Amino acid sequence: MPPHAGRVDSTTDYKLWQVILASSAGTMIEWYDFYLYGTLAVFFSDLFFPSGNPTASFLASLATFGAGFAVRPFGAVFFGRVGDLIGRKYAFLVTLAIMGGATTVVGLLPTYAQIGIAAPILLVLLRLLQGLALGGEYGGAATYVAEHAPDHQRGYYTSFIQTTATLGFFLALGVVLATRVGVGDEAFKEWGWRVPFLLSALLVALSFYIRIKMRESPLFSKLKDAGKTSKAPLKDSFGNKRNWKLILLALFGATAGQAVVWYTGQFYALFFMQKVLSIDYVTSYIIVAIALALGTPFFIIFGKLSDKIGRKKIMLAGCLIAALTYVPIYMAMHHFANPINHTMLTLLVFVQVIYVTMVYGPIAAFL
Protein backbone atom coordinates (compact mmCIF):
# COMPACT_ATOMS: atom_id res chain seq x y z
CA MET A 1 0.00 0.00 0.00
CA PRO A 2 1.49 3.39 -0.90
CA PRO A 3 2.38 5.68 2.00
CA HIS A 4 -0.40 8.10 1.22
CA ALA A 5 -3.13 5.49 0.97
CA GLY A 6 -6.14 6.16 3.12
CA ARG A 7 -5.61 9.88 2.91
CA VAL A 8 -8.10 12.02 1.01
CA ASP A 9 -6.07 12.56 -2.17
CA SER A 10 -7.48 15.78 -3.56
CA THR A 11 -9.54 18.78 -2.64
CA THR A 12 -11.17 19.66 -5.92
CA ASP A 13 -13.04 22.75 -4.77
CA TYR A 14 -10.67 23.64 -2.00
CA LYS A 15 -7.06 23.61 -3.12
CA LEU A 16 -4.37 22.52 -0.74
CA TRP A 17 -2.46 25.79 -1.05
CA GLN A 18 -5.58 27.75 -0.22
CA VAL A 19 -5.89 25.65 2.91
CA ILE A 20 -2.27 26.31 3.86
CA LEU A 21 -2.46 30.05 3.21
CA ALA A 22 -5.75 30.49 5.05
CA SER A 23 -4.54 28.45 8.03
CA SER A 24 -1.12 30.10 8.10
CA ALA A 25 -2.45 33.65 7.89
CA GLY A 26 -4.69 33.22 10.91
CA THR A 27 -2.09 31.34 12.93
CA MET A 28 0.57 33.96 12.17
CA ILE A 29 -1.75 36.69 13.46
CA GLU A 30 -2.39 34.72 16.64
CA TRP A 31 1.37 34.34 17.18
CA TYR A 32 1.76 38.06 16.53
CA ASP A 33 -0.80 38.74 19.26
CA PHE A 34 0.86 36.30 21.64
CA TYR A 35 4.41 37.53 21.06
CA LEU A 36 3.68 41.24 21.30
CA TYR A 37 3.92 40.92 25.05
CA GLY A 38 7.32 39.23 24.87
CA THR A 39 8.61 41.85 22.47
CA LEU A 40 7.55 44.60 24.91
CA ALA A 41 8.36 42.78 28.16
CA VAL A 42 10.97 45.37 29.11
CA PHE A 43 8.32 48.11 28.93
CA PHE A 44 5.70 46.16 30.83
CA SER A 45 8.05 45.68 33.78
CA ASP A 46 7.81 49.40 34.59
CA LEU A 47 4.22 49.99 33.50
CA PHE A 48 2.58 47.07 35.30
CA PHE A 49 5.11 45.72 37.82
CA PRO A 50 6.85 48.71 39.47
CA SER A 51 8.76 47.54 42.54
CA GLY A 52 11.72 49.87 42.96
CA ASN A 53 13.90 46.96 41.84
CA PRO A 54 14.30 46.85 38.02
CA THR A 55 15.41 43.21 38.05
CA ALA A 56 12.44 42.09 40.14
CA SER A 57 10.07 44.04 37.92
CA PHE A 58 11.53 42.48 34.77
CA LEU A 59 11.30 38.98 36.26
CA ALA A 60 7.65 39.59 37.16
CA SER A 61 7.04 40.71 33.59
CA LEU A 62 8.71 37.56 32.24
CA ALA A 63 6.68 35.40 34.64
CA THR A 64 3.51 36.90 33.18
CA PHE A 65 4.88 36.13 29.71
CA GLY A 66 5.39 32.55 30.85
CA ALA A 67 1.87 32.27 32.27
CA GLY A 68 0.53 32.19 28.75
CA PHE A 69 2.64 29.14 27.99
CA ALA A 70 1.61 27.33 31.16
CA VAL A 71 -2.02 27.13 30.05
CA ARG A 72 -1.38 26.30 26.39
CA PRO A 73 -1.76 22.53 26.96
CA PHE A 74 -5.19 23.10 28.51
CA GLY A 75 -6.21 25.16 25.51
CA ALA A 76 -4.99 22.41 23.21
CA VAL A 77 -7.03 19.79 25.08
CA PHE A 78 -10.20 21.87 25.28
CA PHE A 79 -10.24 23.27 21.75
CA GLY A 80 -8.94 19.98 20.38
CA ARG A 81 -12.09 18.40 21.78
CA VAL A 82 -14.19 21.17 20.22
CA GLY A 83 -12.51 20.52 16.89
CA ASP A 84 -13.08 16.77 17.14
CA LEU A 85 -16.76 17.22 17.99
CA ILE A 86 -17.92 20.04 15.71
CA GLY A 87 -15.03 20.64 13.32
CA ARG A 88 -11.73 22.47 12.97
CA LYS A 89 -13.24 25.53 11.30
CA TYR A 90 -15.42 26.53 14.24
CA ALA A 91 -12.65 25.90 16.75
CA PHE A 92 -10.45 28.19 14.61
CA LEU A 93 -13.00 30.98 14.74
CA VAL A 94 -13.43 30.75 18.51
CA THR A 95 -9.69 30.77 19.26
CA LEU A 96 -9.17 33.68 16.88
CA ALA A 97 -11.90 35.71 18.56
CA ILE A 98 -10.52 35.03 22.05
CA MET A 99 -6.95 35.88 21.09
CA GLY A 100 -7.91 39.02 19.20
CA GLY A 101 -10.21 40.22 21.95
CA ALA A 102 -7.65 39.65 24.72
CA THR A 103 -4.88 41.39 22.76
CA THR A 104 -7.03 44.40 21.96
CA VAL A 105 -8.02 44.75 25.62
CA VAL A 106 -4.31 44.77 26.60
CA GLY A 107 -3.97 47.83 24.36
CA LEU A 108 -6.74 49.53 26.35
CA LEU A 109 -5.63 48.37 29.80
CA PRO A 110 -4.87 51.06 32.42
CA THR A 111 -1.39 50.83 33.96
CA TYR A 112 -0.38 50.28 37.59
CA ALA A 113 -0.09 54.04 38.08
CA GLN A 114 -3.75 54.41 37.08
CA ILE A 115 -5.56 51.52 38.81
CA GLY A 116 -2.95 49.97 41.09
CA ILE A 117 -2.73 46.22 41.72
CA ALA A 118 -5.75 45.58 39.47
CA ALA A 119 -3.57 46.35 36.42
CA PRO A 120 -1.13 43.42 36.73
CA ILE A 121 -3.96 41.08 37.79
CA LEU A 122 -5.96 41.92 34.68
CA LEU A 123 -2.83 41.61 32.54
CA VAL A 124 -2.15 38.11 33.86
CA LEU A 125 -5.76 37.07 33.19
CA LEU A 126 -5.52 38.35 29.63
CA ARG A 127 -2.25 36.46 29.12
CA LEU A 128 -3.98 33.29 30.33
CA LEU A 129 -6.74 33.80 27.78
CA GLN A 130 -4.13 34.30 25.08
CA GLY A 131 -2.39 31.08 26.09
CA LEU A 132 -5.63 29.08 26.01
CA ALA A 133 -6.48 30.45 22.58
CA LEU A 134 -3.03 29.77 21.14
CA GLY A 135 -3.03 26.25 22.55
CA GLY A 136 -6.16 25.48 20.59
CA GLU A 137 -5.16 27.43 17.50
CA TYR A 138 -1.77 25.95 16.71
CA GLY A 139 -2.69 22.30 17.16
CA GLY A 140 -5.90 22.78 15.21
CA ALA A 141 -4.11 24.48 12.33
CA ALA A 142 -1.44 21.79 12.12
CA THR A 143 -4.09 19.05 12.22
CA TYR A 144 -6.20 20.84 9.62
CA VAL A 145 -3.32 21.07 7.15
CA ALA A 146 -2.16 17.52 7.90
CA GLU A 147 -5.65 16.18 7.16
CA HIS A 148 -5.45 17.76 3.70
CA ALA A 149 -1.86 16.75 2.92
CA PRO A 150 -0.70 13.43 1.47
CA ASP A 151 1.24 11.39 4.02
CA HIS A 152 4.43 11.26 1.98
CA GLN A 153 4.61 15.09 1.93
CA ARG A 154 3.20 15.83 5.36
CA GLY A 155 6.48 17.26 6.66
CA TYR A 156 6.70 19.66 3.73
CA TYR A 157 3.15 20.97 3.88
CA THR A 158 2.88 21.23 7.67
CA SER A 159 6.20 23.09 7.79
CA PHE A 160 4.39 26.13 6.40
CA ILE A 161 2.32 26.22 9.59
CA GLN A 162 5.59 26.01 11.52
CA THR A 163 6.83 29.21 9.90
CA THR A 164 3.92 31.15 11.39
CA ALA A 165 5.37 31.42 14.88
CA THR A 166 8.60 33.00 13.64
CA LEU A 167 6.71 35.15 11.14
CA GLY A 168 4.38 36.28 13.92
CA PHE A 169 7.39 37.23 16.03
CA PHE A 170 8.93 39.00 13.02
CA LEU A 171 5.68 40.91 12.46
CA ALA A 172 5.54 41.88 16.13
CA LEU A 173 9.13 43.16 16.00
CA GLY A 174 8.43 45.09 12.80
CA VAL A 175 5.26 46.76 14.08
CA VAL A 176 6.83 47.65 17.43
CA LEU A 177 9.95 49.02 15.71
CA ALA A 178 7.93 51.07 13.20
CA THR A 179 5.71 52.48 15.94
CA ARG A 180 8.65 53.31 18.18
CA VAL A 181 10.53 55.10 15.39
CA GLY A 182 7.37 56.79 14.16
CA VAL A 183 6.18 58.32 17.44
CA GLY A 184 9.52 58.72 19.24
CA ASP A 185 10.82 57.22 22.48
CA GLU A 186 8.90 59.36 24.96
CA ALA A 187 5.54 59.05 23.20
CA PHE A 188 6.10 55.31 22.79
CA LYS A 189 6.66 54.85 26.53
CA GLU A 190 3.61 56.98 27.32
CA TRP A 191 1.01 55.66 24.85
CA GLY A 192 2.69 54.36 21.68
CA TRP A 193 3.15 50.84 23.09
CA ARG A 194 -0.63 50.44 22.88
CA VAL A 195 -0.72 50.84 19.08
CA PRO A 196 0.59 47.33 18.16
CA PHE A 197 -2.03 45.75 20.45
CA LEU A 198 -4.88 47.82 19.04
CA LEU A 199 -3.74 46.99 15.50
CA SER A 200 -4.58 43.38 16.35
CA ALA A 201 -8.30 44.15 16.01
CA LEU A 202 -7.84 44.92 12.30
CA LEU A 203 -5.61 41.91 11.68
CA VAL A 204 -8.01 39.56 13.45
CA ALA A 205 -10.97 40.94 11.49
CA LEU A 206 -9.08 40.21 8.25
CA SER A 207 -8.21 36.70 9.39
CA PHE A 208 -11.78 36.08 10.53
CA TYR A 209 -13.01 37.04 7.06
CA ILE A 210 -10.56 34.59 5.47
CA ARG A 211 -11.40 31.76 7.81
CA ILE A 212 -15.15 32.09 7.65
CA LYS A 213 -14.82 30.92 4.04
CA MET A 214 -12.88 27.79 5.00
CA ARG A 215 -14.43 24.35 4.81
CA GLU A 216 -13.88 21.34 6.98
CA SER A 217 -11.05 19.02 5.97
CA PRO A 218 -12.08 16.19 3.61
CA LEU A 219 -10.89 13.60 6.13
CA PHE A 220 -12.95 15.04 9.00
CA SER A 221 -16.01 15.46 6.75
CA LYS A 222 -15.70 11.87 5.57
CA LEU A 223 -15.49 10.55 9.14
CA LYS A 224 -18.39 12.74 10.26
CA ASP A 225 -20.61 11.63 7.38
CA ALA A 226 -19.81 8.02 8.21
CA GLY A 227 -20.59 8.59 11.88
CA LYS A 228 -17.04 7.60 12.87
CA THR A 229 -15.99 10.74 14.75
CA SER A 230 -15.33 10.18 18.43
CA LYS A 231 -18.14 11.10 20.79
CA ALA A 232 -15.72 11.31 23.71
CA PRO A 233 -12.31 12.28 22.25
CA LEU A 234 -10.74 13.07 25.64
CA LYS A 235 -11.69 9.69 27.08
CA ASP A 236 -10.57 7.90 23.94
CA SER A 237 -7.19 9.65 24.02
CA PHE A 238 -6.38 9.92 27.72
CA GLY A 239 -8.40 6.98 29.01
CA ASN A 240 -6.35 4.50 27.03
CA LYS A 241 -3.25 3.54 29.03
CA ARG A 242 -1.35 2.63 25.87
CA ASN A 243 -1.63 6.24 24.73
CA TRP A 244 0.04 7.63 27.84
CA LYS A 245 3.48 6.46 26.77
CA LEU A 246 3.09 8.32 23.48
CA ILE A 247 1.72 11.41 25.24
CA LEU A 248 4.59 11.56 27.74
CA LEU A 249 7.20 10.92 25.05
CA ALA A 250 5.74 13.70 22.93
CA LEU A 251 5.55 16.09 25.88
CA PHE A 252 8.97 15.53 27.45
CA GLY A 253 10.91 13.97 24.59
CA ALA A 254 9.88 16.28 21.77
CA THR A 255 8.07 19.45 22.73
CA ALA A 256 10.06 20.24 25.89
CA GLY A 257 13.38 20.12 24.04
CA GLN A 258 12.19 22.13 21.08
CA ALA A 259 10.67 24.73 23.41
CA VAL A 260 14.07 25.34 25.03
CA VAL A 261 15.74 25.73 21.64
CA TRP A 262 12.90 27.94 20.38
CA TYR A 263 12.88 30.48 23.18
CA THR A 264 16.63 30.48 23.75
CA GLY A 265 17.35 31.17 20.10
CA GLN A 266 14.88 34.01 19.70
CA PHE A 267 13.46 35.60 22.83
CA TYR A 268 16.43 35.00 25.11
CA ALA A 269 18.74 36.29 22.39
CA LEU A 270 16.65 39.48 22.31
CA PHE A 271 16.55 39.87 26.11
CA PHE A 272 20.27 39.05 26.38
CA MET A 273 21.19 41.86 24.01
CA GLN A 274 18.89 44.34 25.73
CA LYS A 275 19.47 43.54 29.41
CA VAL A 276 22.96 41.98 29.55
CA LEU A 277 24.78 43.55 26.62
CA SER A 278 22.97 46.90 27.00
CA ILE A 279 22.27 47.17 23.29
CA ASP A 280 19.55 49.70 22.58
CA TYR A 281 16.07 48.41 21.81
CA VAL A 282 15.93 49.54 18.18
CA THR A 283 19.25 47.90 17.30
CA SER A 284 18.39 44.65 19.08
CA TYR A 285 15.01 44.49 17.31
CA ILE A 286 16.67 45.00 13.92
CA ILE A 287 19.30 42.32 14.58
CA VAL A 288 16.73 39.71 15.59
CA ALA A 289 14.34 40.68 12.78
CA ILE A 290 17.05 40.23 10.12
CA ALA A 291 18.05 36.87 11.60
CA LEU A 292 14.41 35.72 11.58
CA ALA A 293 13.90 36.82 7.98
CA LEU A 294 17.01 34.95 6.84
CA GLY A 295 16.21 31.84 8.85
CA THR A 296 12.50 31.37 8.13
CA PRO A 297 12.90 29.53 4.76
CA PHE A 298 14.78 26.78 6.60
CA PHE A 299 11.53 25.65 8.25
CA ILE A 300 10.41 24.56 4.78
CA ILE A 301 13.79 23.05 3.92
CA PHE A 302 13.94 20.88 7.04
CA GLY A 303 10.24 20.02 6.80
CA LYS A 304 10.74 18.74 3.26
CA LEU A 305 13.96 16.95 4.24
CA SER A 306 12.10 15.19 7.06
CA ASP A 307 9.86 13.51 4.46
CA LYS A 308 12.99 11.89 3.03
CA ILE A 309 15.17 11.01 6.05
CA GLY A 310 12.72 11.13 8.96
CA ARG A 311 11.68 13.73 11.52
CA LYS A 312 13.53 12.41 14.55
CA LYS A 313 17.04 12.62 13.09
CA ILE A 314 16.68 16.30 12.23
CA MET A 315 15.04 17.25 15.53
CA LEU A 316 17.60 15.40 17.65
CA ALA A 317 20.47 16.89 15.65
CA GLY A 318 19.10 20.39 16.23
CA CYS A 319 18.77 19.84 19.98
CA LEU A 320 22.22 18.27 20.28
CA ILE A 321 24.06 20.93 18.25
CA ALA A 322 22.26 23.67 20.17
CA ALA A 323 23.21 22.17 23.54
CA LEU A 324 26.87 21.92 22.51
CA THR A 325 27.18 25.41 21.04
CA TYR A 326 24.98 27.75 23.11
CA VAL A 327 27.73 28.64 25.60
CA PRO A 328 30.33 29.61 22.96
CA ILE A 329 27.64 31.45 20.96
CA TYR A 330 26.66 33.64 23.89
CA MET A 331 30.29 34.20 24.83
CA ALA A 332 30.86 35.36 21.25
CA MET A 333 27.83 37.66 21.44
CA HIS A 334 29.33 39.23 24.56
CA HIS A 335 32.64 39.68 22.73
CA PHE A 336 31.09 41.33 19.65
CA ALA A 337 28.86 43.67 21.66
CA ASN A 338 31.64 46.04 22.73
CA PRO A 339 32.41 47.60 20.37
CA ILE A 340 29.26 46.44 18.65
CA ASN A 341 29.66 44.37 15.50
CA HIS A 342 26.21 44.26 13.91
CA THR A 343 27.13 41.67 11.30
CA MET A 344 28.54 39.15 13.76
CA LEU A 345 25.69 39.58 16.24
CA THR A 346 23.16 39.04 13.45
CA LEU A 347 25.06 35.96 12.30
CA LEU A 348 25.13 34.51 15.83
CA VAL A 349 21.39 35.01 16.26
CA PHE A 350 20.80 33.59 12.76
CA VAL A 351 22.66 30.40 13.73
CA GLN A 352 20.31 30.02 16.70
CA VAL A 353 17.30 30.51 14.42
CA ILE A 354 18.62 27.67 12.24
CA TYR A 355 18.56 25.43 15.32
CA VAL A 356 14.95 26.49 15.84
CA THR A 357 14.02 25.51 12.28
CA MET A 358 15.63 22.09 12.74
CA VAL A 359 13.66 21.19 15.86
CA TYR A 360 10.43 23.01 15.00
CA GLY A 361 10.09 22.57 11.23
CA PRO A 362 9.35 18.80 11.28
CA ILE A 363 7.59 18.58 14.66
CA ALA A 364 4.00 19.05 13.46
CA ALA A 365 4.34 16.08 11.12
CA PHE A 366 6.19 14.11 13.81
CA LEU A 367 3.42 14.57 16.38
Mean pLDDT score, 132-137:
84
Peptide bond into 50 cis (omega under 30): no
Is residue 302 a contact partner of residue 362, using CB atoms and an 8 Å limit? yes
249 vs 126, higher pLDDT? 126
Q: For the chain, what is the mean pLDDT?
A: 84
Which of 128, 140, 129 lies closest to 85, judged by CA? Answer: 140
Torsional class of 123: left (φ above 0), alpha (ψ -120 to 50), beta (otherwise): alpha
Radius of gyration of the chain (CA): 21
CA 180/CA 192 separation, integer angstroms: 7
pLDDT of residue 246: 60
23 vs 235, higher pLDDT? 23
pLDDT of residue 236: 54
70 vs 307, higher pLDDT? 307
Task: Please give, one letter per residue, the 3-state secondary structure of 17-33.
Answer: HHHHHHHHHHHHHHHHH
* pLDDT tens per residue across span 68-81: 878 877 887 787 77
pLDDT of residue 122: 94
Residue 218's contacts (CB-CB under 8 Å, 6 or more residues apart) are 8, 11, 147, 148
pLDDT of residue 283: 94
pLDDT of residue 366: 75
Residue 316 has pLDDT above 70, yes or no: yes
For residue 64, give Cα distances in angstroms to 17, 71, 120, 129, 193: 36, 12, 9, 12, 17
Which of 147, 125, 212 lies closest to 8, judged by CA? Answer: 147
* pLDDT tens per residue across span 259-293: 889 889 888 999 999 989 999 989 999 999 999 99
CATH number assigned to the domain with residue range 12-235, chosen from the 4 options 3.60.15.10, 1.10.3720.10, 1.20.200.10, 1.20.1250.20: 1.20.1250.20
pLDDT of residue 13: 42
Angle at 363 between CA 359 and CA 367, to 5 degrees: 145
